Structure 1
């Protein structure tokens, strides 16, 4: 479909631009102020930090793969099928994790970056750029959702008109009332098929938009870990990131499962999610001698990316995941399941909020 291809191209372009946006920050290795210079103390141990970061690459990679692949490989298990209640509860838990990731991890990081004393007072300290960029990102995500639905609603209308004309042809009239009734049933069946198609395309857009927001944040945080030589910071951060990637991957994996992609597309989405944080760490290790995450350009680029990622994640979690499920017929028709799912959301969001102390 045209809209699906457009989203694929947008995701690919955004991933390509991410590295280009980060490149200017690598040249700011020298700074005459304290900005961009990591404080050397008892926690500064370069050889030990390198060992921890190498271990982190493999541990986080495994955690990410387990998280994103778990919903995909459990499709054949009846109790975890998307039509079962347990899947709804697990998805609600993962949605809470994604929501807390945007509000408790990504958004505060962007505020810290764009309000850093290392940045000039004008304009960075005179306007809330983080909130503004996050708002724009959420609105752009809304626009993508809206245009996608408009496109398929038009397709539904035109297809339904063709079906009605076909059922009311002169040949149909000869066979009397029973055949007309059969033609009407065909139109209803056709509408149901188109509605299912629209829902499927929406699930695919949600999966790709969610992946984009996660990938941007994962590369940024991985870069920071890889460039740091502070073992006191790396050790707890890696542990928190493992849990973070595991549960966030479950949320993304559930969206990929509902999108009903073929094996190739599932593998691509799972691969990019799994490798982005390890890739960011490896990139940070390679550039540890020239990259300074406290330099003005690095603060601006990372802050803008985090703000955009936060807006995208928050919109997707609230509108596309939580609101779509809680306001849908399944949970609206089952109060008990609704309360259990809401408790799962609170548990997921609460757990990720606590992790904000370390990550």
Structure 2
């Protein structure tokens, strides 16, 4: 019940921010900032079919990515306690790290330093880096405080139950580790959903057919491996099946929903209006901070310092190579995304 309540609170926060994001979508761009005025690729008739393709393709690849780990128990080489799964998870963690550093954070810097924003204060202070830093620290606080609260609550509950039967309580180490996995899965999903909303809204609102074609390929690849990383965390969290599939479908459906909303607002959306740039830029910075923290601290560092990897230098090198490869791939994909 406690975990369910926490998930609902995180969902409520996301929906609140999602509603807030709609506001800049109907803003008007200042004179001289209409970047699409002379763009030959702007064609609403050609863009709409591409957006429908994007919805189907992104939904499908997202579901494949996030659901694959949930069924990995039935594949010998991808068992959650096996080396194959660990290598795949490190690869997917690198995808999340690359997303934060190479995709989301640079977008935030670009938006918040746009010439369409006032010079003071937006060009005189690095708001993108500042918000990303605060977001990382806030994620650390949420991670730490939530773990402490649930650990204490679980310990008190366990002691009270065992004492009622006259039994000495056993260690709660396994329960604490399971709790950590659940918090990691929920916070990671929240960070991913932030930038998924922004990606979907931006893709759905643009009528630049040339841009959409590249974005479809880039976002499909991106969501496939990001889904694998999230799916692995959901699997380790050992939620009940209903919660597993709810989190999986929520991840897979967020970007398509954002695209639908963008299509609905495409006639009045101005992605270079000051309000749109500020809101989207700050949301991206917040998401980047969360993703970078989660990838480095809760995913890569946790696994590399764990018993499985610490027991073999050769296996550590393989996992590091997998993470480095995925970061390199995301850096290449950044050319089109």
Using the size of structure 1 for normalisation, the TM-score is: 0.89
Q: CA deviation at 1:10?
A: 2.8
Question: Partner residue of 1:67?
Answer: 65
Question: Partner residue of 1:46?
Answer: 44
Deviations 1:285-313 (A, max 9, x none): 11111011100000000001000000000
Question: Partner residue of 2:230?
Answer: 252
Tell me, in whole angstroms, the C-alpha distance in 2 between the residues paired with 1:5 and 1:117.
44
Q: CA deviation at 1:150?
A: 1.7
Tell me, in whole angstroms, the C-alpha distance in 2 between the residues paired with 1:60 and 1:155.
40
Question: Partner residue of 1:315?
Answer: 293
Secondary structure, aligned partner of 1:300? helix
Instruction: Map residues 236-315 of structure 1 onto 2, 5 A cutoff.
Output: 236-315=214-293
Tell me, in whole angstroms, the C-alpha distance in 2 between the residues paired with 1:25 and 1:216.
16
Tell whether the 8 Å contact from 1:224 to 1:293 is kept in structure 2 after alignment.
Answer: yes
Secondary structure, aligned partner of 2:138? helix
Q: CA deviation at 1:38?
A: 2.1
Tell me, in whole angstroms, the C-alpha distance in 2 between the residues paired with 1:121 and 1:291.
23
Deviations 1:251-270 (A, max 9, x none): 00000000001111111111
Q: CA deviation at 1:19?
A: 2.5
Question: Partner residue of 2:149?
Answer: 151
Tell me, in whole angstroms, the C-alpha distance in 1 between the residues paired with 2:230 and 2:272.
31
Question: Partner residue of 1:21?
Answer: 20
2:325 counterpart of 1:328: no
Tell me, in whole angstroms, the C-alpha distance in 2 between the residues paired with 1:160 and 1:249.
34
Deviations 1:132-157 (A, max 9, x none): 11111111111111112322443466
Tell me, in whole angstroms, the C-alpha distance in 2 between the residues paired with 1:285 and 1:163.
54
Question: Partner residue of 1:225?
Answer: 203
Tell whether the 8 Å contact from 1:36 to 1:293 is kept in structure 2 after alignment.
Answer: no
Tell whether the 8 Å contact from 1:206 to 1:316 is kept in structure 2 after alignment.
Answer: yes
Q: CA deviation at 1:284?
A: 1.0
Question: Partner residue of 1:114?
Answer: 112
Tell whether the 8 Å contact from 1:37 to 1:292 is kept in structure 2 after alignment.
Answer: no
CA, structure 1 residues 161+24, in 2 after alignment: closer, same or farther (shift >3 Å)?
Answer: closer
Secondary structure, aligned partner of 2:217? helix
Tell whether the 8 Å contact from 1:133 to 1:311 is kept in structure 2 after alignment.
Answer: yes
Q: CA deviation at 1:37?
A: 4.9
Deviations 1:86-120 (A, max 9, x none): 01000000000000000000000000111111111
Larger displacement relative to structure 2 (4-13 or 348-357):
4-13
CA, structure 1 residues 285+91, in 2 after alignment: closer, same or farther (shift >3 Å)?
Answer: same
Tell me, in whole angstroms, the C-alpha distance in 2 between the residues paired with 1:295 and 1:24.
11
**Which ranges in structure 2 are unaligned for 5 or more consecutive residues?**
none
Secondary structure, aligned partner of 1:289? coil
**Which ranges in structure 1 are unaligned for 5 or more consecutive residues?**
170-182
The CA RMSD measured in Å over matched residues stands at: 2.0
Q: Radius of gyration: which is bigger?
A: 1
